[in-house]
Amino acid sequence: MCGLLGLICATESDAVNAREAVNAAMRCQRHRGPDEQDTWADGEVVYGFNRLAFIDLEHSHQPLHWGPPEAPGRYTLNFNGEIYNFQELRAELEERFGAKFDTEGDGEAIVAAYHYLGADAVKKLRGMFAFLIWDSQEKLVYGARDPFGIKPLYYAQGPGGIAFSSEKKSLLELSSTLGVEEKLDRTALQHYLVLQYVPEPESLHAAIRRLESGTSFTVKPGGTPELTRYFHPQFTAKTGDRGEALYERIADVLQDSVAKHMISDPDVTVGAFLSGGIDSTATATLAKRHNPNLIAFTTGFEREGYSEVDVAAESAAAIGVKHVVRTVTSAEMMEVLPLIVWYLDDPVADPALVPLWFIAREARKHVKAVLSGEGADELFGGYTIYNEPISLAPFEKVPGSVRKLIGKVSTKIPEGTRGKDLLRRGSLSLEDRYYGNARIFRDDQLRGVLKTFTEGVGFKDVTAPWYEVSKDWDPVARMQHVDLYTWLRGDILVKADKVTMANSLELRVPFLDAEVFKVAASIPLEEKLANGTTKYALRRALEKIIPAHVLNRRKLGFPVPIRHWLRTDMYEWARGIITDSQTDELFDKAAVFRLLEEHRAGTLDHSRRLWALLVFMLWHGIFIEHRIKPEIPEPVYPVKL
């Protein structure tokens, strides 16, 4: 797990002059890899790298050079992530092609696979990754990002060349070198205010994009990247196992995935995040089999109904692991939020990322990596909203003209009235109503707040391509498919990567594994939603693995008490952010203040909309106004146990 930067200049002379700029740009992502830092240049290419070492600590330094016997050093790798099947891949390459390796790490396996297998090599990689390979013979860079988007990769192109980086901040540092403007993307802003995150491939800076998950590319100096999507997930369970045979397959593949995700040097300790749900409990329970001294980490709040600490403590005791708890207060959230927004690069209005930052910081005192349960809901059908096609099925039998009338009637019902949203959503098709788990501003709400609101810009810009691919699938599979490309990679994995790496902590996600996905994609609808629960097949598979008290527990979803705090503890803080923000050309400040006052009075619950606005205003103050300057702490290191 590391931070990388690669600058591909138009000419060799440009590269010579840019090396110091790359070195400086790496400093703002030193938290991603505090163990080592290096820069390297060859021809038109300049690499910068920060290493967080896990495997082959004394070797496998990066940038990493490799080549076949006839062309030693032909390739140079910049790689962020972990390849969990690298040992098997190295053995295959040795047997089939006689490949030779100088290290014991996973990096050489990537480069050798690319040399012998070409672009298809990326399909062989089981892990999380973003990498760049410079081929000095062909004078091109080949790069790729993992299938689910666990690891980030930003890029920007201008007259000075093209640059790729694990952090957008580094590209902003190179803006003058590249010759690009630091201009706000107002379309991306509108998407953010609807979705609570900036969808790929956008960023809030118009000149900076993200390589999408499951995508590879090639680019030559002076050229434009040629992008290729290599991962095409399909939830099409037309044939496959059912019942006990399916549950055994799920249990077996999860045990195998967790075992591979525990890989590290003997001197590196891997722990686990533990909530009150089945996903993190399963990863912690299985991880304990490989690390008898496993430490589990939980965060929560003192307010009743907003903490899973008690359930997690019961789970920790049942599986026999040491348990570390970090409780977070409203004062701590207000103090640290600007710093977290700096780490995020783009705003994510998910309040859960704040307590995650605190528990990641606590975990880094003890371990260097943690396992977590992200991805289980998307793969196995875990969100309660996946039941919506069932609850709204009666509307499907109503003629289209009547459904439209129902939709018009719903607009006349006052906000906050029970049943209003049911009627509104029932009047819509799946494509028109579902765009992920977070729905912040509707268009009618946003028009009164966002001065730059553009008609025709909406969530369908993001979801339509994924609905088109899945048009013949069942509605729940289509929702899962949309979530893979929106909610998972836009919110869940962004906060998981950014907040843990902010604390120089590697987060590993065993559910988001190629082999696990193959099994999950084969699960039929009746095995996802059954007996009034979600993730039915997964729960059955875990019956003999996890403690009984969490097996059928209702998903809490890690709520954060901002609804209460924005009426009390956080009210003046929120007013101050709105007042100080220099965003008058973007927002109707009077309308924003009305939202705050209505929320404080209890008239309506505007907490999520307010949080989205507040997070953006902090982001704007940091990256556009340059008025807010968080104090960036030095990377933390674990204590000796």
Catalytic positions are: 2
Could you tell me whether strands 270-273 and 140-145 are parallel, antiparallel, or unpaired per DSSP bridges?
A: unpaired
Torsions phi, psi for 622 (to 5 deg): -85, -50
At residue 20, what is the residue type?
A: E
DSSP 3-state of 5: strand
Q: Based on the number of CB atoms within 10 Å of its own CB, is 218 exposed (0-12), middle (13-18) or buried (19 or more)?
A: middle
418 to 424, 426, 590: CA distances (angstroms): 12, 14, 28
Cα(193)–Cα(454) distance, rounded to whole angstroms?
13
Q: Assess contact for 449 and 617: CB atoms under 8 A.
A: no
The DSSP symbol for 350 reads -
**Contact predicate 473/481, CB 8 Å:** yes
Residues whose CB falls within 8 Å of the CB of residue 134, separated by 6 or more in sequence, listed in order: 6, 42, 45, 47, 75, 76, 77, 140, 141
Rounded distance between C-alpha atoms, residue 592 and residue 596, angstroms? 7
Give the H or E element holding residue 45: strand 45-51
Residue of 302, 276, 273, 274 whose CA lies nearest to 555: 276
Tokens of 99: 């490949």
Which 8-state DSSP code applies to residue 396?
A: H
**What gap in Å lies between CA 166 and CA 153, rounded to an integer?**
5
Is the N-terminal amide bond of 199 cis, ω within 30° of 0?
Answer: no
Distance CA(304)–CA(556), nearest Å, equals 12
Distances (CA, A) of 617 to 186, 377, 414, 584, 588: 14, 31, 29, 11, 13
Amino acid at 140: L
| Residues β-bridged to residue 7 | 46, 163
C-beta of residue 209 within 8 angstroms of C-beta of residue 357: no
- Convert 148-177 into a string of H (helix), E (strand) and C (coil): CCCCCCEEEEECCEEEEECCHHHHHHCHHH
C-alpha 427/C-alpha 279 separation (Å) is: 34
- For residue 48, say whether it is annotated as part of any ligand binding site: no
**DSSP three-state, residue 436:** coil
Burial 413-424 (b: 16+ CB within 10 A, else e): eeeeeeebbebb
Alpha carbon of 166 to those of 262, 393, 490: distances in Å?
A: 23, 44, 15
Strands 215-219 and 208-210: unpaired
For tokens 């997070």, the residue is: 615
**Residue in the block written with tokens 């039941």:** 387
C-alpha to C-alpha distance for 544 and 559, rounded to whole angstroms: 29
Does 373 carry a binding-site annotation?
A: yes
Two structure tokens written together for 335: 């103090």
- Comparing CA positions, the residue from 293, 235, 291, 310 lying closest to residue 473 is 235
The pair of structure tokens assigned to 69 is: 């016997």
Binding-site members for ATP are 372-373
